[in-house]
Chain A
Amino acid sequence: MQKSLHIDPGKCTGCVQCELACSFENEGVFNTAKSRIKVFTFHQEGRFVPYTCTQCDEAWCMQACPVDAIVINAKTGSKDIIEDRCVGCKVCTIACPFGTVNYNQDTGKVIKCDLCGGDPACASACPTAAITYIDADTTGLDRMRAWAAKTDNTAQASA
């Protein structure tokens, strides 16, 4: 069974431990600006929403990449950036309708969530279980995926 990140915004306190863990795992420093997961604060509503790549089936980023620098991780199903191949053209950053591929100006490459290869640091660090890594079927990702599908440029004509 493939696993997915499950995010329950109702449990999030906005502590950004996830961002710290993510950046430390991926960049070797504590740097929320370089985190692959981002907590959005809704000040007026008093809500916090952690947000990252859902590893969507459409893989807009991967499709759009002109140099084959984004590949599917067979183990986790994540769409991973191969840094050596990325030329920094940023097409994936505009192609991803979720806005979860970002350009890192310091390296000239893009960054996105790769589920840490199957042990996501954000989920381990989350103190409130707002972020968990669980069986994909139970994550309720359908909602987001349904939305992702709406980005599709095509419509299936009924046969």
Chain B
Amino acid sequence: MAWTNKVLRVNLSEGTCKSEPLNTEWAQDYIGQRGLATRYMVEEVDATCDPLGPDNKLIFATGPLTGTMASTGGRYSVITKGPLTGAIACSNSGGFLGAELKSAGWDMVILEGKSDKPVYLYIENEEAQLLSADDLWGKSVWETDELLHKKHQDPQLRIAACGRSAETGCLYAGVVNDLHRAAGRSGVGTVMASKNLKALAVRGTRGVGNIKDPARFMETAREQKQVLADHPVTGEGLPTLGTQVLMNVINETGALPTRNMREVKFDGARKISGEQMLEVRKTDGRPNLTTNAACFGCTIACGRISTIDQGHFTVENKPQYWGNSGGLEYEAAWALGADTGVDDLDALTYANFLCNEDGFDPISFGSTVAAAMELFDIGAISTKETGGMEFNFGSAEALAWAAEKVATGEGFGADLALGSKRLCEKYGHPELSMTVKGQEFPAYDPRGIQGMGLTYATSNRGACHLRSYTVSSEILGIPEKTDPLVTDGKAGLVKAFQDVTAAWDSTGLCLFTSFAWSLENVAPHMDSACEGDWDADRLMETGERIWNLERDFNMRAGLTAADDTLPKRLLEEAANTGPAEGKVSGLAEMLPEYYKERGWRQDGNLSDETRERLRLPG
């Protein structure tokens, strides 16, 4: 129950769309969304396949709570083998598409093969068809969105699309839905474009029912909404400042990676902070932030809706960027700002708009620009390579220019589109790439927040904060405070966060609820909505199962224990200021203990006992 028990299988090579029953046994073991789609990937995809070849599959998956009234219950994930990392890629998005897909009657869509010609998938309830996207190819996400609405004459149509960056091979292209919500990381949009699939256009009017105990579920949803409303982070911090509530906090902690992680504090942090977004601009009398906004069913509403100053150099004579659109989240503001040394809020917002408009990950993009700036700084590249642009740290012009070039894959934009790892390798300085498994870091310096070092090193999709957000414990004290500067106990903390998160990401709920909720709050939603008995312990164990399944896929894909590491800079160059001054990441102290906690062998593979205990497929 709560599942629709239907999977839409789309074979792009054959041009067919078929309905098949959901594997409900797997649903009991892997819930939905991230976990369940990974189970399908493991079953159906050769882990060694070329991520951009026809043998890879791309899964859009909802969770059992997606489309329900549970607060934040509108999430979906895109799961595939990622081109940036060669590892399992799972990218999570909000907005309204996931709930629409569920309301159309589908738990997930599995896209396989590769289309000869550009197509988009149109889903209207039970009916699904592949339609020509000849007129959409070469268009941005925003143009695609408008064209599809007009073509179908349906204002309620929900659209997810890849942009021009994906079409031109950007390895960190995402899938953007509802104009500015994105399954942004790991290049899931690149895989989409590689299949000649431009968009999903979904209309669902069947609704989500099939709730096990509707009265109890409604009561649970009501109670848990109140828990979110009463919590300072979800009830006040996030609605008011969004994730950007963190910019000043993390900077003060001395854990704000700056200028390609050379430094841990950014003197311009305040100018790009959430607080600054509320300040009225002198030029036009408006603040950057117009309003906060919610995704489907979300009672937190952390989304930022922003404008750019119409007189700013980035948008002069470009009225298409004068209106409101999705504004800066913390990770984006950090990557586009602190990591590049740019403290121009309008320039950051502009780059963020372009990331949405053409579907590329602002974290990977900003970090790659930061790497290019360091390459430029040390003379490894010059204006000859960049095509004339001075890539100086702090240059808002370079940032905006780079975003325009990556959007379309032109000139130096094609180099930047490969990501930091490939860029730095190409120009002879692989050590300057701040990546794990090929994916760029997010906004927490592992020297100042030790748990995040282990998080990045062991994340199944490459460097990522959303695989175990120990920041919550180490900085915010949620659920309990741990010291960010020590490594003791972090192996267990990371494992716990990873397992909890894996379960969370499989339910259809947003991880941001976890500031106020634990699995004890998630469980009653699951238990009243879904077939089976669900308590926090079962969710935790399921999360561990999912984590290990992802790990197993990666090991089959050819990754090894050697990939569980960090760039030399973080292991050897100490933080130069702040509370973490003199510290490097203590990964070496944490990693063996982590393997032990996980029940993995020294080579990084799952032990037989672990596999058996978690009932993982052989």
Contact = CB atoms under 8 A, between A and B. Distances in A.
Contact of B205 (A14, A15, A20, A33): A33
Interface string B117-156: 0000000000000000000000000000000000000001
Contacts of A7: none
A103 interface: no
B205 A34 contact: yes
Interface string B287-321: 00011111111110101011100000000000000
Nearest to A25: B218
A43 B292 CA distance: 12
A13 B292 contact: yes
B324 A45 contact: yes
B179 interface: yes
B293 A30 contact: no
A47 B291 contact: yes
Contacts of B305: 46
A127 interface: yes
A33 B292 contact: no
Interface in B185-223: 204-209, 214, 218
B225 A28 contact: no
Interface residues of A, number: 27
Nearest to A106: B205
Contacts of B294: 13-16
B299 A15 contact: yes
Given A21-B69, A29-B209, A30-B209, A43 B225 contact: no
Q: Which of A24, A27, A125 has the most CB of B within 10 A?
A: A24
A46 B209 CA distance: 31
B98 interface: no
A14 B96 CA distance: 10
A32 interface: yes
Contacts of A32: 99, 103
Contacts of A43: 179, 323-325
A10 to B, nearest CB: 9
A24 B221 CA distance: 13
B207 A14 contact: no
A43 B303 CA distance: 13
Nearest to A124: B222
Given A15-B299, A24-B69, A127-B225, A33 B204 contact: yes
B205 A31 contact: yes
B229 A127 contact: yes
Q: Which of A14, A45, A125 has the most CB of B within 10 A?
A: A14
Nearest to B67: A30
A78 interface: no
Contact of A31 (B206, B295, B325): B206
A17 interface: yes
B92 interface: no
B299 A23 contact: no
B56 interface: no
B323 A13 contact: no
Contacts of B205: 31, 33-34, 106
Contacts of A23: 207
Given A13-B301, A33-B103, A33-B204, A46 B324 contact: yes
A13 B303 CA distance: 9
A47 to B, nearest CB: 7
Contacts of A44: 323-324
B273 interface: no
Contacts of B290: 45-46
Contacts of A24: 69, 214, 218
B298 A33 contact: no
B147 to A, nearest CB: 16
Given A13-B239, A32-B99, A46-B307, 15 more contacts: A13-B292, A14-B294, A16-B96, A17-B71, A17-B299, A24-B214, A28-B209, A30-B103, A30-B208, A31-B103, A31-B207, A33-B204, A45-B323, A127-B229, A127-B299
CB-CB nearest 4 A-B residue pairs: A31-B207, A44-B323, A15-B294, A29-B207
